[in-house]
Structure 1
Amino acid sequence: MAANLKTSNVKQLRIPKTSSSSTRLCEKENGPQVINAMKNVGTIITSDLGKTENKETKTDDDNSISRSILAAKTETQIRESIKHIQSSRDKQNNENENDDSNKKWVLADFEIGKPLGKGKFGNVYLARERRTRFVVAMKVLFKKQIEEGNVQHQVRREIEIQTHLRHPNILRMYGYFHDAKRVYLILEYAPNGELFKALKASPNERFDEHKTANYIRQMADALKYCHNKKVIHRDIKPENLLLGKNGELKIADFGWSVHAPSSRRETLCGTLDYLPPEMVLGKSHDHTVDLWGAGILCYECLTGNPPFVAQSYEETYNKIIRARFTFPNHVSELARDLIKKLLVVKAENRLPWDGVLSHLWIVNNTSKESGTN
């Protein structure tokens, strides 16, 4: 296991508190899943995680912070980034703090299991905290690749934003720690994997209207919550949505998201098939980009493909800026109505979240239950 691995001094955000019964990672939050999910946990995968140096470096707090998550180019930038995150969290967690919530994690605190996914900048593993036996997903990012890919800001955003969000349909981030070469993000484990894989495994690679409506309802509620907190996701697509143990939707991957209290953004990001006209055209945009994303997702869940798929980049581009798309015959009139009200070129005319949640297609196809089984 990881017990014999040495790590450098690290700093870690306090575990967020939502109530007195969920102050720290505990078995109650996951129930039987904690036992079942880790049956096949093996020895630590040292070939992927790598080995830390045998020689430990003795540093004080300032030097430790200076080797922060962002691999920033100056120590001042690093310290300011960490201080900003920690001061925000300290405000939120000022009341009812105890010694457990101040715990600073190191790699040896976890048993590492099977890989859950791989990405350009690192990998995700099933993991379990040794003390509490709590099962998590550990996202391991390599600092060198983060810096070479120039995605320091995305990593910072992912941590700053996701640690503050509390919604049943948003994947929790419990905290992070780091060593000389890697950043470790401690995330909620979603045992049913990506929505994208579930979609491709379904008959005809599409969901029925009942299941799709349940997913859209959950996503709409979560994104309404985000927008009320001035957070825009900007990259809604099946690959960034996970499924919890009861089939409930979990919005993940906030690397492209932004906290924009009073400004419109002008950054091009996300995947072309899912981008709204204003972003494709390089115009400023606001929270309504996520409404467009909801329309794209709804269409893809019902048909198996995004609405603007074409043979070339240019053709897709032209379809998006004109919102030109057609429906297969099996899509109901009510579903078409909702999608048409979301995929509107003029952002201000898109149906708001309250309108989505009260739309007759959503109401007719959903129940009060959070799952979609």
Structure 2
Amino acid sequence: MALPSGNRELLKHFKVLKFLGKGSYGSVYKVKRISDERIYAVKETDVKSMSQTEREESVNEIRLLASASHPNIVSYNEAFLDGNRLCIVMEYAPNGDMSRIIKKQATARKPLDEMQIWKYFIQIARGINALHEMRVLHRDIKPGNIMVADGDVLKIGDLGIAKLLKSSMAKTQIGTPHYMPPEVWKSRPYAFPSDVWALGCILYEMATFNVPFEARSMSELRYKILRGRYSPVGRQYSADLIDMVRRLLDAVPENRPTLKQILSSETVKKMEAKIRMEANVPVSGDNQMLATIQVPRNLNLLKGKFPTPQYQAEEEAGKENAAPMNMGLPAIKEVVPQQPRAAARAPSAGRARSAAPEPPRDLRRAPSRGEREQAQRARAPVAAPPGAALQPRGASRNGAPPPAYGQPPSYAQYGGAQYGRRAGPQPPNSRGGQSQYEAQRMKVAPPARGAPAYPGAPAGVSRVGSRAGAKPSPYADYGRPAAYPPAYMQRQVGAGPGVQEV
């Protein structure tokens, strides 16, 4: 069969090495994962050509494989959609399946050793018991679905038609005809004893290299199975093995032992001791059945609904990163230096406030209207007075000469337009003018010409903005001429020769 090719999602992560065979609903390939260079088996199913029921059964295999964790069950690694193909990555068994071993021994005409048969039988029984503990009915137990890993370890695979029994019985007539029990042939409800019947068929086949019921047609096969008669097992095997075959191939389902009864029987315990098999791994609490994966009509909606990938290499790498490497050295005790008491004290409220980080800009208080206007005035360029020319470096904004060295500047030299205001008449209602209370207290008065500002005052300096008999105005100390009254007075009453406060 041709190997997968083209622009495939499978080929981006895996290298297909060999076609292994066909299983339920799909083909199986031997692949090598590019990331860890390990060998896996990929079961590829064309879900586009399937009915909705067949799609649900294919996705159900992913759920059951990912839920079961047992040494005698094929482990799940990953599942993904590759176009219209459903790919399931699982454990690879390098030695094929049980049918290959039986066929090889039959061709060589060399019967299997009884101890080897018991070793295989006990492993298969343990795997089926793990499924039954999870209430999973396999429904297709046969040598072709028993994989042989390294060390003659058997693993149950192909859960494509397995069913989770929510009730006590199943009704669908399904399985491989030679391994189907009488109750299935009668179209009656069946349960876990049907897997026990199939296990008896495998045990018989390992001892005789033939199925217990052989026929040339389906009707003849049905007749022989319902009759329940088969050729006896050869005398080269023990009575324990012959009796086990008889008990498992009982036509009455209620008379067949359960897997738990088989594994706890004296015969199996005795054989385990002879073979020196390891103790059976009990079904752990981790084997919790995953939730049902709903299969939509649109297969693209399945992406992201599969169980998490489970690769042993990645799990081992995670454990190595999580656990520190032990080099055989004595453990080093971490010494934590003791802080002095003064440093160990909790910081005060003031320190905590100062050390607190600046809150983000989104959490700051919004600026008020006055703050916004002040910031706008600070950014706005200062308008020059009408008709003013550019002044040389060192000159004031209103054209006054710079002050002499050692002399305080006058009001004009300070710049009458400081804070963005212009020296000169301003409209009465302009922004920044004096309050109504101040306006009522001010009135224009003729200046006292020739009156000195204070005894010994220089010429040109008069008393401005002072009451009669009051102390000299503080502006006189800066030598302000009478022709330059305060700016806030000019804005309210206009520029005058002088303003006197009443």
Q: Same fold (TM over 0.5)?
A: yes
Q: Distance between the aligned counterparts of 1:370 and 1:192, measured in 2?
A: 21
Is residue 332 from structure 1 mapped to residue 238 from structure 2 by the alignment?
Answer: yes
Match of 1:369 among 257, 262, 277: 277
Quote how far apart the aligned CAs of 1:273 are: 1.0
Quote how far apart the aligned CAs of 1:108 are: 0.7
Q: Is the 8 A contact 2:193 2:256 kept in 1?
A: yes
Q: Which residue of 2 aligns with 1:187?
A: 90
Q: Secondary structure at the match of 1:246?
A: helix
Q: 1:122–1:259: structure 2 CA closer, same or farther, 3 Å change rule?
A: closer
Q: Which residue of 2 aligns with 1:226?
A: 131
Alignment of 1:250-265 (within 5 A): 250-265=155-170
Q: Which residue of 1 aligns with 2:337?
A: none
Q: Distance between the aligned counterparts of 1:238 and 1:281, measured in 2?
A: 24
Q: Is the 8 A contact 1:233 1:257 kept in 2?
A: yes
Structure 2: tracts of 5 or more residues without a match: 280-502
Q: Distance between the aligned counterparts of 2:193 and 2:251, measured in 1?
A: 11
Q: Distance between the aligned counterparts of 2:182 and 2:24, measured in 1?
A: 27
Match of 2:46 among 139, 142, 145: 142
Quote how far apart the aligned CAs of 1:271 are: 1.2
Alignment of 1:151-190 (within 5 A): 151-190=54-93
Q: Secondary structure at the match of 1:49?
A: coil
Q: Distance between the aligned counterparts of 1:151 and 1:206, measured in 2?
A: 40
Q: Distance between the aligned counterparts of 1:222 and 1:370, measured in 2?
A: 14
Q: Secondary structure at the match of 2:86?
A: strand
Quote how far apart the aligned CAs of 1:315 are: 2.5
Alignment of 1:109-124 (within 5 A): 109-118=13-22, 121-124=25-28
Q: 1:370–1:241: structure 2 CA closer, same or farther, 3 Å change rule?
A: farther
Match of 1:350 among 256, 259, 264: 256
Q: Distance between the aligned counterparts of 1:159 and 1:360, measured in 2?
A: 36
What residue identity is the alignment partner of 1:343?
L
Alignment of 1:293-332 (within 5 A): 293-330=198-235, 331-332=237-238
What residue identity is the alignment partner of 1:179?
D
Q: 1:263–1:119: structure 2 CA closer, same or farther, 3 Å change rule?
A: closer
Name the stretch that deviates more: 216-225 or 109-118.
Answer: 109-118
Q: Is the 8 A contact 1:274 1:293 kept in 2?
A: yes
Q: Distance between the aligned counterparts of 1:298 and 1:125, measured in 2?
A: 28
Q: Is the 8 A contact 1:307 1:326 kept in 2?
A: yes
Quote how far apart the aligned CAs of 1:176 are: 0.6
Q: 1:145–1:274: structure 2 CA closer, same or farther, 3 Å change rule?
A: same
Q: Distance between the aligned counterparts of 1:120 and 1:233, measured in 2?
A: 12
Quote how far apart the aligned CAs of 1:327 are: 0.8
Quote how far apart the aligned CAs of 1:106 are: 5.4
Q: Distance between the aligned counterparts of 1:358 and 1:119, measured in 2?
A: 32
Q: Secondary structure at the match of 2:19?
A: strand
Q: Secondary structure at the match of 2:67?
A: coil
Quote how far apart the aligned CAs of 1:239 are: 0.7
What residue identity is the alignment partner of 2:12?
A
Per-residue CA shift, 1:77-110, capped at 9, x if unaligned?
xxxxxxxxxxxxxxxxxxxxxxxxxxxx854122
Q: Which residue of 1 aligns with 2:121?
A: 216
Quote how far apart the aligned CAs of 1:146 are: 3.6
Quote how far apart the aligned CAs of 1:147 are: 4.3
Quote how far apart the aligned CAs of 1:361 are: 4.3
Q: Secondary structure at the match of 1:234?
A: coil
Q: Which residue of 2 aligns with 1:248?
A: 153
Q: Is the 8 A contact 1:218 1:370 kept in 2?
A: no
Per-residue CA shift, 1:129-159, capped at 9, x if unaligned?
22222321112222344449x6323312211
Q: Secondary structure at the match of 2:211?
A: coil
Match of 2:6 among 51, 66, 74: 51
Per-residue CA shift, 1:113-135, capped at 9, x if unaligned?
12222458543222222222232
Work out the percentage of aligned pairs sharing the same amino acid. 30
Q: Which residue of 1 aligns with 2:458?
A: none
Q: Is the 8 A contact 1:204 1:304 kept in 2?
A: no
What residue identity is the alignment partner of 2:55?
Q
Per-residue CA shift, 1:143-188, capped at 9, x if unaligned?
344449x632331221121111100000012121112231111010
Q: Is the 8 A contact 2:24 2:160 kept in 1?
A: no
Q: Distance between the aligned counterparts of 2:22 and 2:253, measured in 1?
A: 35
Moved over 4 A (4+): none
Per-residue CA shift, 1:227-272, capped at 9, x if unaligned?
1111010111001111011111110111111001323110011111
Q: Distance between the aligned counterparts of 1:277 and 1:139, measured in 2?
A: 31
Q: Is the 8 A contact 1:123 1:139 kept in 2?
A: yes
Q: 1:360–1:306: structure 2 CA closer, same or farther, 3 Å change rule?
A: farther
Q: Distance between the aligned counterparts of 2:43 and 2:223, measured in 1?
A: 37
Match of 1:287 among 174, 192, 199: 192
Aligned length: 274
Q: 1:134–1:48: structure 2 CA closer, same or farther, 3 Å change rule?
A: closer
Q: Is the 8 A contact 2:25 2:58 kept in 1?
A: no
Q: Secondary structure at the match of 1:116?
A: strand
Instruction: State TM-score, norm by structure 2.
Output: 0.51
RCO comparison, higher one (Cα < 8 Å, 6+): 1
Q: Which residue of 1 aligns with 2:171?
A: 266
Q: Distance between the aligned counterparts of 1:352 and 1:142, measured in 2?
A: 36
Q: Which residue of 2 aligns with 1:27?
A: none
Q: Which residue of 2 aligns with 1:36?
A: none
Is residue 125 from structure 1 mapped to residue 29 from structure 2 by the alignment?
Answer: yes
Q: Secondary structure at the match of 1:138?
A: strand
What residue identity is the alignment partner of 2:261?
G
Q: 1:318–1:106: structure 2 CA closer, same or farther, 3 Å change rule?
A: closer
